[in-house]
Structure 1
Amino acid sequence: MHNVILVVLDGLNYEVARHALGHLQAYCGAERAALYKLDCELPSLSRPLYECILTGVPPIDSGVVHNQVVRLSNQRSVFHYARAAGLCTAAAAYHWVSELYNRAPFIAARDRHTDDLELPIQHGHFYYADHYPDSHLFADAESLRLRHSPNFLLVHPMNIDDAGHKHGLDSAQYRNSARGADVLLADYLQGWLDAGYQVLVTADHGMNLDRSHNGLLAEEREVPLFVLGSAFSLSGDAQPKQTELCGTVCELLGVAHDKPVCRELLK
């Protein structure tokens, strides 16, 4: 059994991740991490793909088919499997994650700061403004880690996606927002690894030149997956799918589940 941190850098296109995330690429260069390319499921929209990443179920089957589907998930997520095994769960994430797995609709005064051992996400800091600073979000996540030592922690900042919607894929603002997230990760990654966490860094979807995403273009669908930690094979043969992230995290956690897994990712 391993503890796991899953980082979802919202809206990060694969090619920008490949060239802009210098700190993560330093781990790859030192053969202490590996980078894979994923095609996100369709539609390439946020709420459907949060559900896909965390449950392994594509949007067409989960019923979360666009961002305005405001209800609890009817699928089993990483949080549910971890809780069933008696593990501790936490998330610093956009409020749609709280709506999918804890309570819907989101009521900020009730749900923004969550500490409830009976909920799937026991400990949470949930934000509801797309420009909520990534620096604050990473600090929120680290506060949860230090206070609760969660077995599974979701870290989900939004500023890359926000910059893409305001300025588009081919903009300094979008690329610099990705670089900024990499710098923030540099403050935490080694500490997480030293504490024994296995770390996955991915994205829900990419971004297009129209300052949006929803379709089939490579820049909208191709997203990164960095993996770091002693449990990963770092094999160039792995071809992970977005629908396999939930099961792969469950394998790392050592919890029972019925989701597809990319076994080539793991030792």
Structure 2
Amino acid sequence: MKHNVILILLDGLSYSVAHHAMGHLLAYRNAGRAALYKLECELPSLSRPLYECILTGVAPIDSGIVHNQVSRLSSQRSVFHYATDAGLTTAAAAYHWVSELYNRSPFIAARDRHTDDVDLPIQHGHFYYVDHYPDSHLFDDAEHLRTAHAPHFLFVHPMNIDDAGHKHGLDTPQYRNSARSADILLAEYLQRWLDAGYQVLVTADHGMNNDRSHNGVLPEEREVPLFVLGDAFSLDPDAQPKQTEICGTVCELLGVPHDKPVCKEVLK
């Protein structure tokens, strides 16, 4: 099986809000053209450790990326490494910590913000470094990378949901409306990407609590969504994917050799 893949990480989106606020994604689910799964994120429920978990399949306690201030290249093999080793093209529109994990650390904006280097794991990138960088710009960055480079694997990572959660908390109009806004932005691109043959996964690293933070074990902090869309997915409602299986599942879709755990039930 060889498919192109877009992995979207909506930073800080709790499952409870995704389950009621993401109207466009839920329309695909209700039409039988997508599945929505509830994942429990690994611990700690923090961003940089869970970027590493999602993109390498390795839990933070084993990767050594155990808090947000661990600023170094990953020591693990990521989707980007497996894809480029197999001769595929990779791209990312993402927060600068992703560049620091897989391309170069520390991040130097003038050098790394716009990346085009076929010798790096993330060959083509637009990386931002403020949490309020508009999601609208981020999705435009992603579409530019897709149309300019036709990547086999594209990682898309907006931050405004998490930013709203830290400013206002979980049970607030601002947090819920930031999720709705991301869903509306996705509506501009999603069918276009599916029509172009991409398999699409939409997930989150962690959720959010009413203290305007995350790091612990509350359901609203750990429970996150995974939407899958595309003809390579089984849409089996009984599948139980894990966050550590996203990397391997993406590698299976790409058809590249890897040694990561896979949730076979989500695939046809």
Where do 5+ consecutive residues of structure 1 fail to align? none
SS of the residue 2:261 aligns to: coil
Q: 1:90-132 CA deviation, whole Å, 9 max, x = no partner?
A: 0000000000000000000000000000000000000000000
Q: 1:226-250 CA deviation, whole Å, 9 max, x = no partner?
A: 0000000000120000000000000
- Residue type of the partner of 2:168? H
Does 1:203 pair with 2:201?
Answer: no
In structure 1, what is the equivalent of residue 161 of structure 2? 160
C-alpha separation in 2, matches of 1:171 and 1:118:
44
Does 1:127 pair with 2:128?
Answer: yes
- Residue type of the partner of 2:46? L
- Residue type of the partner of 1:118? D
C-alpha separation in 2, matches of 1:117 and 1:93:
18
C-alpha separation in 1, matches of 2:169 and 2:80:
33
C-alpha separation in 2, matches of 1:2 and 1:179:
29
In structure 1, what is the equivalent of residue 99 of structure 2? 98
Where do 5+ consecutive residues of structure 2 fail to align? none
List 4+ stretches of structure 1 deviating above 2 A. none
C-alpha separation in 2, matches of 1:237 and 1:20:
22
C-alpha separation in 2, matches of 1:76 and 1:237:
29
Q: 1:143-174 CA deviation, whole Å, 9 max, x = no partner?
A: 00000000000000000000000000000000
Paired residues, what number? Answer: 267
In structure 2, what is the equivalent of residue 18 of structure 1? 19
- Residue type of the partner of 2:180? R
> TM-score, normalised on structure 1?
1.00
- Residue type of the partner of 1:232? F
SS of the residue 2:202 aligns to: strand
In structure 1, what is the equivalent of residue 70 of structure 2? 69
C-alpha separation in 2, matches of 1:43 and 1:196:
35
> TM-score, normalised on structure 2?
1.00
- Residue type of the partner of 1:105? P
In structure 1, what is the equivalent of residue 87 of structure 2? 86
Q: 1:54-77 CA deviation, whole Å, 9 max, x = no partner?
A: 000000000000000000000000
In structure 1, what is the equivalent of residue 179 of structure 2? 178
- Residue type of the partner of 1:250? C
- Residue type of the partner of 1:254? G
Superposed displacement of residue 203, structure 1: 0.1
C-alpha separation in 1, matches of 2:166 and 2:232:
36
C-alpha separation in 1, matches of 2:239 and 2:85:
29
